[in-house]
Structure 1
Amino acid sequence: MVPGYKRKTPEEILQEIEQLKYGKLKVYIGSAPGVGKTYRMLQEAHELVAEGVDVVIGIIETHNRKETADLVSSLEIIPKQQIQYKGHILEELDTEAIIKRAPDVVLVDELAHTNVPTSAREKRYMDVEKILQAGINVLSAVNIQHLESLHDIVEKITGVKVRERIPDSFLHTADEVILIDVTPEILRKRLKEGKIYHQSKIEQSLANFFTKGNLSSLRELSLREVADDVDERSEKAKLRDGQTGPIGTHEKIMVCVQHGGNAERLIRRGWRIASRLKTSLTILHVSNEASMNRSQEERKKIQDWKKLATQFNASFIVEQMNKRKISQVITDVAVSEKITQIILGQSARTRWEEIKKGSIVNNIMREATGIDIHIVSDQTKRG
């Protein structure tokens, strides 16, 4: 037997067979609007048509760019679904019509788009999942700022809170991720020439989102993300081939979240650490109250955190204090879950409270041995 080879289990073989029934997903990713993702996707569509492949357009956003619109005109387009909402007729991707048409390949632009509230699915990437399950191949496109785990980093770079986001896990299911990369200088030149936004938006965009510094930072994020994606695919390929090796088996990450604006940022930071270490993530919320006594606000927060945990394939634990100190609760859970690294937000306690009640971090360090602690500062606090 080849050294390092591991025989596949019957369950793994069945999973691979099921996966073969799925369509293939190819995603073009870029650092910002205007890099040419949609244009390249349409070019590939024409190349496939020339080879005799049945290709249709599910939805394409040309943003009134002539070169893009010219490539759309000669391809078959599946009519959009007409949805009535609050007295208006809005158009969305018609997932069911695409599945009924059953092409070899469908183009679906703007992967992070949020559908009209009355739609069958909340997000466009969920429509894409449904199409892939039907065995149809999908070409799609997205910008780096729409990745869930990068939300806080992008906000820090650009000052913009990106509302439409996709789970990193969905991007990682893609069979191929292609980076469309251009320099900040070229991107700003395209903007000035009116190739990205309408003339009325150019000056404002150049001074805000499209600054040289922002574009350089977003470009670096894109390059890193795709490099990490390549590494992860390499690891998965080795595992598929039966090769085994150390991939974070000794590390387990736990994020502790309480009320405040820092919680979701902590979860995203925890996921990125866990992802790089190729290990699991646990999210812990310590509650003063039993579930039936929790306020509406706390219940809503817990539901939001659970939703984020699901996106990151993390386990979510709500632990009641039961007259214990919060540091003791965190330590008890960390020991029972065999946690090796704890991520905490900067303490909201004042210096006087810490003198009276003790520092949460110091207490954990005394009570838990062999566990590393990361403190993430609260960006909302100044002074």
Structure 2
Amino acid sequence: MVLIYGVLAAPVEDDPVQEFENGNRMFSAALYKELVKETSDNIVISPLSLDAILSLTYEGAIGETAAEFVSGLHLPNSNEKVQRAYRTVLPKLESSSDTLELLSANRIYIAEDVVLEDEFSSIAANVYRSGVAQIGFSDSTAAADEINRWVEEETNQKVRNLIDSSNIDANTRMVLVNTLYLSGQWRQPFQTYPEPRSFYRSKDDAVYVTMMLAEQYVNYWKNDELNARFVELPLQGANISMVIALPNEVDGLADLENNVELVLRTPPKVCLLRPVEILLPRFSVETKTKFVPVLQNLGIQRAFSRRAQLSGISSTDKSLYVTDVIQKTYLNVTEGGIEAAAATEDVKSALPDVLVPFIQFEADRPFLYYIRQNGVILFSGRYVGP
């Protein structure tokens, strides 16, 4: 059996990256819709992290199992296109500077008697940049500890205890792990609002929260069809930004979530920088999700049964199947940035010396958000209050 764990435009036929970005958005929306059926709490997921490790598994699939991966993940329609897309996307997930750290890593843990197919090993290393480590699964505690140590190192200690020893036993043949870690400073930092403000979890339920304030020129747009407004908050470097989708009504989040495919679209090309006074809660969210039922609902079913056709993975074990897909994701939004580790000075952003009215954008009600790099959704989620 195999365990898989993951931590963090219209398609153009001859452009695998454009196809992949479009598919990533559709997969992100489908995941989101499934997750909000099960919980009313804050959530954060990394669609790309999950996509990457499942796409690697797809490389060893054949027949109907492979077809279900393509359909459920909204992948380009050939292995070659998927590989071309990941050869472009994954290198962009590596950036390290004083203001931005973006890290992605894959690792395959295999039982000591498992031998990977040469072609799968080559694709894993050269396309998905995945390392391979042999491990003794019979000692489940030691195996879980080793995997968790690696995940903690790759996520700067932010994701801990991804895998429990009860999820592994002597029959475990393979564990695939993907990590995606982002720590970045806002291009224009926020400052702490001087006093707590009301956050309306519903029309009849308000709590006080710490708000962050910024007066910035940012991408701002309205969507009357969604009855919502949007701002895009850029980080420093690597073309990464966080988009906040704020419903106009206090109880409008459900309507937004029903149309999440439209919410996740790339900001409109006509979107212009506008002067906006932004009030955003300081918040932190951590989510651990078991994705097998979700993925089954999206049509990926054979891979999680003994009908799985994953013969392209191992030359020694042709009866592999997936038993678990678990993701643990952490997001921290502060005045300095997303996952900002260092303190930043409490200074207002420099604005042009022109008298223009500021648009008021106060996120004082449940909202949806996503973090994107170019056209790829790295993280998505919702904040419904403390």
TM-score by length of 2: 0.23
- The structure with the larger Rg is 1
Q: Higher strand proportion, which one?
A: 2
TM-score by length of 1: 0.23
Q: Which has the higher contact order (CA 8 A, sep 6+)?
A: 2
Q: Higher helix proportion, which one?
A: 1
